C-alpha cells in the first residue's frame, strides 16, 4: 500500500514559523516519524511539499492510480483553493485532511475548509501527532 503525503505552503518553515501554533518540529522531523510508522504498518509513504497551488494540483492529479491513500495539509490553501478541491475530486481513494492547529479555534477566516466536504475525514489540533493519526485512519480505510 502506498500513501501520498502533501504538505502545502509554508510547511517547509515548520520549527521556525509561529511555534505557538505549529510546534517546534520541522517538516523533516514529521516526515521521519511518518515514514517510521508507515514502515511498521507495511505502508510506503511518499512526501511532497510546495508553496505553489498549481504544483499541488499537478501532484494530486499525478496520484491517480498510483496511491491507495492521500494525506494532505493544504495549509493556507485549505481556506481558499477551489483548484485543490477540484483536483481531490478526481481521486477515488481515502483522503485525510490534517492541520497541526485546531483551525476552529483560530481566526474566523481559518475556520472554513474548502476541502472538508470532499475528504474522508479531518484531523486538526493535535500537532504533529495528527499526521500519525492520519496514517492510522488512511490505513483503516484502505484495508479491504
| Residues known to be catalytic | 22, 99
How far from each other are the two terminal CA atoms of the chain, in whole angstroms? 11
Beta strands in the chain (DSSP E): 2-7, 44-49, 69-73, 95-99, 121-124
Give the span between the Cα atoms of 144 and 138, in whole angstroms. Answer: 12
Give the span between the Cα atoms of 101 and 19, in whole angstroms. Answer: 10
Amino acid at each position: 500500500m502506498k500513501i501520498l503525503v502533501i504538505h502545502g505552503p509554508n510547511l517547509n518553515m515548520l520549527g521556525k514559523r509561529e511555534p505557538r501554533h505549529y510546534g517546534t518540529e520541522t517538516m523533516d522531523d514529521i516526515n521521519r516519524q511518518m515514514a517510521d510508522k508507515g514502515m511498521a504498518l507495511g505502508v510506503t509513504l511518499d512526501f511532497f511539499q510546495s508553496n505553489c497551488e498549481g504544483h499541488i494540483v499537478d501532484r494530486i492529479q499525478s496520484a491517480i492510480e498510483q496511491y491507495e491513500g492521500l494525506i494532505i495539509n493544504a495549509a493556507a490553501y485549505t481556506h481558499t483553493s477551489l483548484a485543490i478541491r477540484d483536483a481531490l475530486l478526481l481521486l477515488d481513494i481515502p483522503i485525510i485532511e490534517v492541520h497541526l492547529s485546531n483551525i476552529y479555534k483560530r481566526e474566523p477566516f481559518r475556520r472554513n475548509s474548502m476541502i472538508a466536504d470532499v475528504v474522508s475525514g479531518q484531523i486538526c489540533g493535535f500537532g504533529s501527532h495528527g499526521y500519525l493519526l492520519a496514517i492510522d485512519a488512511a490505513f483503516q480505510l484502505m484495508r479491504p
